[in-house]
Chain A
Amino acid sequence: MASIMTTSIIVLYFLITLLVGAWASKKVKSSEDYIVAGRSLGFWFFVLLVVSSATSGMSILGVAGLGYTAGWPSIWEQIFVPLTTAVCILFYGTKLHKISEKMGYMTVQDYFADRFYSPKLMRVLSGLAVIVTSTIYLVGQYTAISIVLIWLFGITHTQALIIAAAIVLFYVVLGGLYAVAWVNLIQGIFIVGGVLIVSPFILKAAGGFTHINTVIASIDPNFVNLAYPQMHPPYAGYAFLTPLYLVSFFFLLAMGLGSGPHIINNVLAVKKDKYFKFAPFASFAIYVVIMYLLKIVGFGTRAMVADGLLKVPYPDYAYISAVNYALPTLIWPLFAVIVLSAVMSTTDRLMLTIGSSVSWDIYKNLINPKAEDKTITNISRITVVVVAILTLYLAIKPPQLLALLIWMGIGIMLSSFVMPLLAGLYWKRATREGAIASMGIGFATSIIFGFIHQYIVKLPMHFSMYSFILSVIAMIVVSLLTKSPSEKVLKNTLTGPFIQQKKR
């Protein structure tokens, strides 16, 4: 059971986030304040918001877990995921921010509706894809909260989920993106500081870097290589990270994750264009250090298990087992705060994204264009509550395919959003029909390939790669077969093969 100290630190952490939510709610005067924080985010707010939105709970527990299972070939995950924040800011964000400032967009779907001159169909299609991917992803996040709270307090899975959901719900409903940005700033600092403090303890307990590598190499020599041998099916369950698979992993993580609505919508809330200069570097540099440390802790835990120092019940528990073994009990709550911060910073952003999609894209732009500002904010708040209850229910009774669903979430992001975004921003010939075909085919086939991979035959690449290729083909072929967009549309949405248009 948790000590009084642990309980007080966790309670203090929750209280801080609640107070920030209550305080931020005073700043919300319009739907623009609620959805894009009045477009007022400063440099560090923005950088840490992007990093912490991308650092989900599964990326703390899951990263160490995959390192524990698969060794160094899985280190690519730690390069591709930080890279996605840079890709998102640089290739999508810089331009989207400029256009959205000019046109007053609140969500990426606003951009899609204008760029593909499809105020209804494209908006509904992309809005639905956002709602589906975010909801799937959200369910996965609750699992990580539950693992930590159960470990600390010995409470049940259901109790753990209800406590966490109630707290996130409170500040998201009250403060919208203002609250999320402030809470994420604090959480971002907790994640970065916490991982930097905790990880060296674990590496020291495991016998140091060289010892860790020597031990894991003795389990399987490929554990210290950059990839597993290219063979299909792989020689062991964990040896799936072959060179071919890593190619699909690059697209999935470096391109797909960054196009996720909960990450990309952050770029619309930035105050000044000049923040885009060093934001890609700052987010990548911070994120890569944290991710490397987390992964090496996973290797260290594997070495400690091989040395007979500790036992790990299942891979995702690797980090917790290592903390349990290597750190004094006093520091446990610090670790718990890191994981909770990571989970909650993604969870809150996802909930807000779904809320904005329903209130702004579906209600305001489709059902009731004359809706008042207050009504939009309230509908967003009601949606957040409904989504929280629904996902909580799914997390309490997790579907058997939970892990598949989480991977499918990112896979659908890659297959549905990347091509319409990239082609929309940089290719003048991309048309409405092309975008609808690309998004529709990508969305549907990613689900189909996911189930093929799960039930029929294991595929040599991540299943979303196949649907992504189909979405690229659909975009190119259908666009070339249909009438070009008008010059007015292209001019308004700054379309063309450039990041910034040269002054004439």
Chain B
Amino acid sequence: MIYGLPDTTFFVVLLVPIVIALLLLFWGFKYKPVEEN
């Protein structure tokens, strides 16, 4: 138990948003838009 939550619950609710945020950050660095004008 961590903070009264089962370990799985704690790590999933903590890590899933962090992983998504990191992936989106990665996209930000990778995407190079070509401006039309």
Are A280 and B34 in contact (CB-based, < 8 A)?
Answer: no
Q: Interface size on B (CB < 8 Å)?
A: 22
Say yes or no: is A90 at the interface (Cβ < 8 Å to chain B): yes
Are B13 and A83 in contact (CB-based, < 8 A)?
Answer: no
Say yes or no: is A225 at the interface (Cβ < 8 Å to chain B): yes
Known: A272-B35, A278-B28. A225 touches B21 (CB 8 A): no
Say yes or no: is A277 at the interface (Cβ < 8 Å to chain B): yes
B6-17 vs A: 1/0 string, CB under 8 Å? Answer: 101100110011
Q: In the assembled complex, which residues on chain A have CB atoms less than 8 Å from the CB atom of B31? A: 94, 276-277, 499-500
Known: A83-B20, A225-B9, A281-B24. A273 touches B4 (CB 8 A): no
* B35, closest chain A residue (CB): A273
The stretch from A49-57, A119-127, A206-214, A324-332 touching chain B is A206-214
Q: In the assembled complex, which residues on chain B have CB atoms less than 8 Å from the CB atom of A281? A: 21, 24-25, 27-28
* B31, closest chain A residue (CB): A277
* A502, closest chain B residue (CB): B34
Q: In the assembled complex, which residues on chain A have CB atoms less than 8 Å from the CB atom of B24? A: 86, 90, 280-281, 284-285
Q: How large is the interface on A (under 10, 10 to 19, 20 to 34, 35 or more residues)?
A: 35 or more
Q: Given A90, A94, A224, A277, which contacts B5 in the complex, CB threshold below 8 Å?
A: A224
Q: In the assembled complex, which residues on chain A have CB atoms less than 8 Å from the CB atom of B35? A: 272-274
Q: Given A79, A217, A277, which contacts B28 in the complex, CB threshold below 8 Å?
A: A277
* A279, closest chain B residue (CB): B28
A90 → chain B closest CB, angstroms: 7
Are B33 and A500 in contact (CB-based, < 8 A)?
Answer: yes
A207-235 vs B: 1/0 string, CB under 8 Å? Answer: 00111111001000000111000000000
Q: In the assembled complex, which residues on chain B have CB atoms less than 8 Å from the CB atom of A225? A: 6, 9
Say yes or no: is A101 at the interface (Cβ < 8 Å to chain B): yes
* A83, closest chain B residue (CB): B20
Q: Given B4, B21, B28, B33, which contacts A213 in the complex, CB threshold below 8 Å?
A: B4
B1 → chain A closest CB, angstroms: 8
Are A101 and B36 in contact (CB-based, < 8 A)?
Answer: yes
Say yes or no: is A102 at the interface (Cβ < 8 Å to chain B): yes
19 chain-A/chain-B pairs, Cβ below 8 angstroms: A75-B13, A102-B36, A209-B4, A213-B3, A217-B4, A224-B6, A226-B13, A277-B27, A277-B29, A277-B31, A281-B21, A281-B24, A284-B20, A285-B24, A288-B17, A288-B21, A292-B17, A500-B33, A503-B34
* Shortest 7 CB-CB contacts between residues of A and residues of B: A213-B4, A273-B33, A281-B24, A278-B28, A210-B4, A214-B4, A277-B28
